[in-house]
């Protein structure tokens, strides 16, 4: 790649423009080799489709690499969209970030008396932008399914008020995101103590 003049980052991934074009005009990079992009199969598939459309059909649509939903499929899944709390603070400033969070207990865990306060929901909101949700995080059963459902909302610029106005389906783990009211800055515990 060096001999061709393709610019690489420290990890030997190809540095690209927003249209996935490398520093050499007729070389494009998609998927895990594209520097700074999520290393996820669905991201590579979509980037490939969009690149093919741009090259062969005259499309100008670019892959949107912002707020890509992802899940870690462990026995208790972790799902995320957008920024971590730390990244949001670094980008927008601590004074502009509110973090709403809560532990929750899935109904199906009530009878077997599984551990309380293991599941967790968190929204990272930018106060300077009408409390736009810039980060979504969940640990719990089926977190991937929950996360996928909220991915469109974050892509559309959902705010905390949008989540608050939504009537949740009861009893579901996902409804926790429609009732979050405790902020980390309040110092109030996020632990669940009863119904």
Cite the active site residues.
Answer: 170
Q: Check whether the bond before 168 is cis (ω within 30° of 0).
A: no
What is d(CA 106, CA 103) in angstroms, rounded to the nearest whole number? 10
Say yes or no: 59 and 83 in one domain: no
CATH number of the domain where residue 42 is located: 3.50.50.60
Q: How far is CA 48 from CA 37, 56, 72, 147, 171, in A?
A: 13, 12, 23, 23, 39
Residue 111 lies in a domain: yes
What is d(CA 14, CA 5) in angstroms, rounded to the nearest whole number? 11
Domain holding 43, by residue range, is 1-65
Q: How many distinct structural domains can be found in the chain?
A: 2
Q: What is the mean pLDDT of residues 54-83?
A: 96
Q: What is the mean pLDDT of residues 190-194?
A: 78
Residue 41 lies in a domain: yes
Contacts of 40 (CB under 8 A, 6+ apart): 68, 70
- pLDDT value for 2: 81
Residue 18 lies in a domain: yes
Say yes or no: 91 and 53 in one domain: no
Q: Which of 33, 65, 97 is the last residue of a domain?
A: 65
Residue 192 lies in a domain: no
Say yes or no: 4 and 52 in one domain: yes
Q: Which of 38, 65, 92 is the last residue of a domain?
A: 65
Position 194 confidence tier, pLDDT thresholds 50, 70, 90: low
Q: Cα 183 to chain center, whole Å?
A: 19
CATH number of the domain where residue 115 is located: 3.30.390.30
For the segment 115-156, what is each residue's pLDDT rounded down to a tens digit? 766 899 999 999 999 999 999 999 999 999 999 999 999 999
- Are the CB atoms for 162 and 95 separated by under 8 Å? no
Which ranges constitute the DSSP H helices of the chain?
41-56, 85-92, 143-155, 160-165
Q: Which of 65, 86, 109 is the last residue of a domain?
A: 65
Residue 195 lies in a domain: no
Residue 106 lies in a domain: yes
Q: What is the overall mean pLDDT for the chain?
A: 94
Position 67 confidence tier, pLDDT thresholds 50, 70, 90: very high
- pLDDT value for 114: 66
For the segment 94-119, what is each residue's pLDDT rounded down to a tens digit? 999 999 999 998 888 877 666 766 89
- pLDDT value for 109: 80
Contacts of 75 (CB under 8 A, 6+ apart): none
Contacts of 143 (CB under 8 A, 6+ apart): 71, 76, 77, 78, 79
Say yes or no: 49 and 77 in one domain: no
Residue with tokens 């494009």: 28
For the segment 44-58, what is each residue's pLDDT rounded down to a tens digit? 999 999 999 999 999
């Amino acid at each position: 790649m060096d001999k061709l003049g393709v610019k690489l980052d420290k990890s030997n991934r190809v540095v690209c423009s927003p249209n996935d074009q490398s520093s050499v005009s007729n070389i494009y990079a998609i998927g895990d080799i594209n520097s700074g992009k999520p290393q996820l199969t669905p991201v590579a598939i979509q980037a490939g489709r969009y690149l093919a459309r741009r090259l062969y059909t005259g499309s100008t649509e670019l892959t949107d690499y912002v707020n890509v939903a992802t899940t870690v499929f462990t026995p208790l899944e972790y799902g995320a969209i957008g920024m971590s709390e730390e990244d949001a603070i670094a980008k927008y400033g601590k004074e502009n970030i509110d973090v709403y969070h809560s532990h929750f207990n899935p109904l199906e865990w009530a009878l077997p008396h599984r551990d309380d306060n293991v599941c967790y929901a968190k929204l990272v909101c930018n106060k300077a932008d009408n409390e736009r949700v810039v980060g979504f995080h969940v640990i719990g059963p089926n977190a991937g399914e929950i996360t996928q459902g909220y991915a469109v909302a974050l892509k559309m610029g959902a705010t905390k008020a949008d989540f608050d106005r939504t009537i949740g389906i009861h009893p579901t783990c996902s409804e926790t995101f429609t009732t979050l009211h405790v902020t980390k800055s309040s110092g109030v515990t996020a632990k669940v103590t009863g119904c």
